[in-house]
Amino acid sequence: MSEKIISLVEIDYPLFWGTNDKILEFVKLLFPKLKLIVRGEMLKVVGADEDITLFETKLQALISYYEQHGKLTEDAVMRIFENGGSTPEAETTPDILVHGRNGNLIKARTPGQHQLVQAIQNNDVTIAIGPAGTGKTYTAVAMAVRALKNKEVRRIVLTRPAVEAGENLGFLPGDLRDKLDPYLQPLYDALRDMVPQQKLLSYWEDNTIEIAPLAFMRGRTLSDAFVILDEAQNATSAQLKMFLTRMGRNSKFVVTGDITQIDLPRHQQSGLTQATHILSNINGIAVVELTSADVVRHHLVTQIIQAYGQQE
C-alpha cells in the first residue's frame, strides 16, 4: 500500500467537491480500492501505486474541467472517467464567453455587446463607448478571462484613472492600495463573478492578474497580455496616448468609457473623445458605440439615460 498527499490549494472546496461532499462521495464510488481523505486543501490517497496513478490522471481532468466551467457535476465526472481521463469537450456555444462561478454562463446579451465581442476578437485595439449599465467593462473582463483560460495570453492587466466626481485620493484613509480599491471595485466585482476565489487570489499573488492605476503604466511594455483601460473618459489625451503605446507583442487592448460622465477639470479634454475620432480609421483598431438599448441593469436605467440625454 502506498500513500500520496495532493494539494488542492487553488480549489474552492464547496464548488469542487459539491454540497455535502456530493462529488467527493461519487468519486469514492468510482475508486472503491482507494481510500480518499480530504482535509481542507489537502487530499490524501491511500492504495496500490497503479490505482493512485490512474486516480491522479482523472483528478487532473476534473480540475481542468472545474477551472473551465466553474463547477463539477456527477454527469461531468462520469464522462471524464469514461473518457480515459481526458477532459470532455467544452459545453459551450458561440454566445458563451466564459463559465463563471457556480457554473453561471456569462455571455453577450445585447446586439451592442455582441458587436463588442466580435470587435475584440478581430482587432488588437478596441474602444468601447456607451452609457452606464451597457456591460462595457463586464464584457471586456469576460473576454480577458476567456483569453487567459484558453492560454491565448499569459496575464491580464486592468487599469483606470483615479479620477472620480471631483474627489481625489488624498481624502481616503489607508495606504495607496486602500485608497485605490474603491476606484477599482467594478473590476474586482467582475473578476469575482468569473474566477473561483482561490484561483483569483493565486492570480493576484503571482501577478497573472494585475490591477493598477493608469499612472503606473508609464514606461512599461505589455506583451502576451489582455489589457483593459476602464473609465477612459477620465484619461487625458496624453495619458491615453501613453497607455496605447504600452502595447507589446501578442497583446489585446480594450478601452472603455462613457463620454457623458467626464470628471476631468473643465480645461482638460477627455482623451477618449479625441481617440474615437483620430484612431477609428486605423486597421486593427475598432470603435464600438453602445447605446441605452444595451443597458442590462434595472429597466429604469434606460429611461434615466434617455431623459438626461434629451435634457443635454
Q: Give the span between the Cα atoms of 67 and 134, in whole angstroms.
A: 27
Contact predicate 263/163, CB 8 Å: yes
**Which pLDDT does position 285 carry in this prediction?**
94
Residues 6+ apart with CB under 8 A from 176: 169
**Which pLDDT does position 167 carry in this prediction?**
44
Task: Return the residue matching grid coordinates 481532468.
Answer: 61
Contact predicate 98/194, CB 8 Å: yes
- Helix axis angle for 74-82 and 22-30, nearest 10°, is 30
**Which pLDDT does position 176 carry in this prediction?**
55
List, for residues 54-110, the tens digit of each pLDDT value: 888 888 888 878 777 777 777 778 777 776 544 444 444 556 787 766 667 788 888
**Which pLDDT does position 243 carry in this prediction?**
94
Q: Which residues of the chain have pLDDT under 70?
A: 10, 83-95, 100-103, 163-181, 297-299, 301-302, 305, 309, 311-312
**Which pLDDT does position 3 carry in this prediction?**
84
**Which pLDDT does position 84 carry in this prediction?**
53
**SS3 sequence of 132-152:** CCCCHHHHHHHHHHHHHHCCC
**Which pLDDT does position 163 carry in this prediction?**
59
Q: How many Cβ atoms sit within 10 Å of the Cβ of residue 224?
A: 12
> Which pTM was predicted?
0.69
